Amino acid sequence: MQDTEYQQAEQDEQAKQRLQVLVGRLQNMANDRVQKRELIEKRWLEDLNQWNGEYGEDVKIPKGRSRVFVNLTRRKANFAEGRLGEMLLPTDDRNYAIKSTPVPDVPGIPKPNRELLSDIAQKKATAMQDEIDDQLAECDYNSVARRMIHDGIVLGTGVIKSPVLRRSVSKRYTINDVMGMKVSKMEIKEEIKPGAEVVSPWHFF
């Protein structure tokens, strides 16, 4: 019994040492990346000051001179952001398309029947396109992408993460006939659906 306890204690100590080595390695990697990003973050701060119409800490204005900041950057950036959003995320059309290949391969259909193959493959491509449209609409992808475009215009860097799994809960009431009486019952349905998220460039390494 004592030997077993001794072995368990020794294994726990080894596991603790391995964990400390791993934590130290991850900490060194994080510090290295933070150090390498200092120049980029300095540029981002300058960009934010320009966007907000503020002078940086290194700008010294002589006494008696005007401190008014004529902010031309925000107006031009807003125009660029709107134009880019219109081109990449049109409201009346999709920015992608799915089509079948010239010579599709559909299981169960012989290849000599080219016309039937093309028809079936195109129907499957259209169904997949409709499914993608539905998923993008449900996760409000255009709104997420526009926030990413804003970061890209202001800082020069925009990050979007997708697909991310999200739990969707829907409720529905059904009417059942119980012994001649109408009884309503609530059904709760949970689904895992794909989504998209904007990641702040300040939190991305």
31, 136, 141, 145, 146 from 133: Cα distances, Å: 41, 5, 10, 15, 17
How many Å separate Cα 134 from the centre of its chain?
A: 17
Q: Are 151 and 159 in contact (CB under 8 A)?
A: yes
Where residue 3 falls among pLDDT bands split at 50, 70, 90? low
Residue 1 has pLDDT above 60, yes or no: no
Per the model's pLDDT, the better-predicted residue between 8 and 1 turns out to be 8
- The pLDDT score that the predictor gives to residue 76 is 93
Q: Calculate mean pLDDT across residues 123-131.
A: 92
- Whole-structure pTM value: 0.71
Mean pLDDT of the chain: 86
Q: Are 132 and 162 in contact (CB under 8 A)?
A: no
How many Å separate Cα 185 from the centre of its chain?
A: 37
How many Å separate Cα 205 from the centre of its chain?
A: 15
142 sits in which H/E element: helix 141-155
- The pLDDT score that the predictor gives to residue 60 is 77
Provide the token pair at 95: 């920015």
Residue 113 has pLDDT above 80, yes or no: no
Where residue 130 falls among pLDDT bands split at 50, 70, 90? very high
Alpha carbons 140 and 168: distance in angstroms, whole number: 14
Measured in residues, the chain has a length of 205
Q: Are 143 and 195 in contact (CB under 8 A)?
A: no
Per the model's pLDDT, the better-predicted residue between 188 and 128 turns out to be 128
Alpha carbons 156 and 39: distance in angstroms, whole number: 14
Alpha carbons 186 and 17: distance in angstroms, whole number: 53
Q: Calculate mean pLDDT across residues 107-113.
A: 72
Q: Calculate mean pLDDT across residues 114-138.
A: 89
Q: Calculate mean pLDDT across residues 190-195.
A: 88
Residues 34-90 have pLDDT tens digits of 888 888 999 999 999 889 888 877 777 777 777 777 888 899 999 999 999 999 998
